[in-house]
Amino acid sequence: MIVRFLQILLAFVVVRILWGLVRSLFGKPANPPRAAPPGRTEERGRVVACERCDLHVPEERAVVRDGRTFCSDACAVSESQG
């Protein structure tokens, strides 16, 4: 009884491995490369961290006050208040 079960289990594993090999050789790729969205380029700018909350934002969106970098006006104001 146990021997028969192991034979069936082994047969299932072998069939599953063969099926995976056939699909990988003849099937389409699982995750085809995606094209960049229209209007966007692959080049990305530098990212900086907010000195108050440590949120990382693109450098062009960062708020700079007195040489310190913040993610928003709210962080810059709250840092200056306390």
pLDDT at residue 1 in the model: 86
Please answer whether residues 75 and 60 qualify as being in contact, where contact means their C-beta atoms are separated by less than 8 angstroms: no
Supply the mean pLDDT for the chain: 86
- Average pLDDT in the 49-77 region? 93
pLDDT at residue 22 greater than cutoff 70:
yes
pLDDT at residue 39 in the model: 60
pLDDT at residue 34 in the model: 75
- HSE, side-chain direction, 13 A CA sphere, residue 57: 18
Partners of residue 49 on adjacent β-strands:
56
Question: Phi/psi at 20 (nearest 5 deg)?
Answer: -65, -40
Residue with the bigger pLDDT between 4 and 31: it is 4
Q: What is the pTM of this model?
A: 0.47
